[in-house]
Homo-oligomer: A and B are copies of this chain.
Amino acid sequence: MSKDDSKKALKELGSKIVHQVKKGKNPEIEFPLRNLSNIVYDKKSKTLKLGQKTGTRSFFNVAHSKKFLQTVEVASVIKEKLLDSGKHSSLRDVFYMVKKTIPGTKVNLVDDQTESDKAIEDLEVMTGISREEMHVNANKNGSVAGKVIIEDRGDTIDWSKLGSGGWSIPSNVEEITFKKVDAKYVLYMEKAAVWERLNEDKYWQKNDAIILASQGQTTRGIRRLLQRLYEEYNLPIYVCCDGDIYGAYIYSVIKYGSIALSHASERLTIPSVRYIGITMDDIEKYDLKKHFITLDEKDYARIKQVSEYEWFKDNKDWQRQFKMMKEFKAKVEIQALSARGISFISEEYLPKKIKNKEFLD
């Protein structure tokens, strides 16, 4: 959706309210409910989505009026301060821009960032405009390298000519344009240290791949970048993580979505993504038992939880993995491969897995 479409959608929302006021009606807004009871796993699209339930919020209702005002004020700040000026800002900035006293009272419009965050999410589901399209950015994190040329804010950027650092992935990738994409697949890894290994070994050059990593979290910017590369260039996306339940979860969020962002699934999930990281089968194959890290209570609880997710429940391959994790009573980090040679991961492990299509789906 273009900036003009975004502005138009927010303007329509305002016009509707003005119209109701002029007709002497109690102004109200309708929106899909976002609580757990309305979050469903859609087996057809294989993503977490919002169901059909909707709620309304009206001005002359003591229980609603503050939230009503918050939604309208956030919409106004986004339209006037961000879209009209062409500027972007973070969730935290929007909170401070919205934080003011309601005229004629001593009551703050918002006291806590969760209130403005929720208003933004409501606007996302009401209008179909994503947070990024409303110029509200998520966290910035991650690096990318590969034979790709993009245009961004007037600059032409060649991801193959950025030395040891790579391009720093912005929080918002909606406005970048791909000019040339010369790659057979995209490899996303959870650890920046692994990315540095692959980058030093020019993995992306030797294997016609795009390599991409965050540190710790898969930000919305990264998920959107992966999705755009998949949708616009039909590139397969492989996710490379540690051999543990957290790795499985990172993969699961990219593939199926997350409960917190279920309203944005369409924009963020990539159902065709495949897992290429350490599996429980790799442990025998690559002699990794000596690098076992014993599971603790928290790990077992997480295995139980993740293995019961609707999208994993009937997945035999993953259920086998979860079972083996419990039998081994251990996890293995991707970096344990370094014991077999510093470039073992980039020269043998990954190319072999890709050649033999050893993925988990």
Cβ of A118 < 8 Å from any Cβ of B?
Answer: no
Chain A residues within CB distance 8 Å of chain B: 81-82, 85, 87-90, 92-93, 96-97, 99-100, 137, 139-144, 150-157, 161-172, 175-176, 192-193, 195-197, 200-201, 215, 290-291, 333, 335-339, 342-343
B93 touches A335 (CB 8 A): yes
- Asked if A96 meets B164 with Cβ closer than 8 Å, knowing A195-B140, A342-B82, the reply is no
Extra contacts besides A89-B193, A152-B164, A167-B167 (4): CB < 8 Å: A96-B336, A96-B339, A99-B290, A171-B196
CB distance from A347 to the nearest CB of B (A): 12
Q: Which residues of chain B have C-beta atoms less than 8 A from A169's C-beta? A: 165, 168
Q: What copy number does this chain have within its complex?
A: 2
Q: Which residues of chain B have C-beta atoms less than 8 A from A81's C-beta? A: 342
CB distance from A304 to the nearest CB of B (A): 28
Q: Which residues of chain B have C-beta atoms less than 8 A from A137's C-beta? A: 193, 196
CA A200 – CA B137 in complex, angstroms? Answer: 12
CA A140 – CA B213 in complex, angstroms? Answer: 10
A342 touches B93 (CB 8 A): yes
B170 touches A167 (CB 8 A): no
Q: Which residues of chain B have C-beta atoms less than 8 A from A215's C-beta? A: 139-141
Sampled A-B contacts (25; CB under 8 Å): A82-B342, A88-B200, A90-B196, A96-B291, A96-B333, A96-B336, A99-B339, A137-B193, A137-B196, A140-B143, A140-B192, A140-B195, A140-B215, A141-B192, A143-B168, A152-B163, A152-B165, A153-B164, A156-B161, A162-B167, A164-B176, A165-B169, A165-B170, A168-B169, A171-B193
- Asked if A342 meets B150 with Cβ closer than 8 Å, knowing A167-B165, A168-B165, A215-B140, the reply is no
**Minimum CB distance partner of A172 in chain B:** B164
B153 touches A163 (CB 8 A): yes
CA A290 – CA B92 in complex, angstroms? Answer: 15
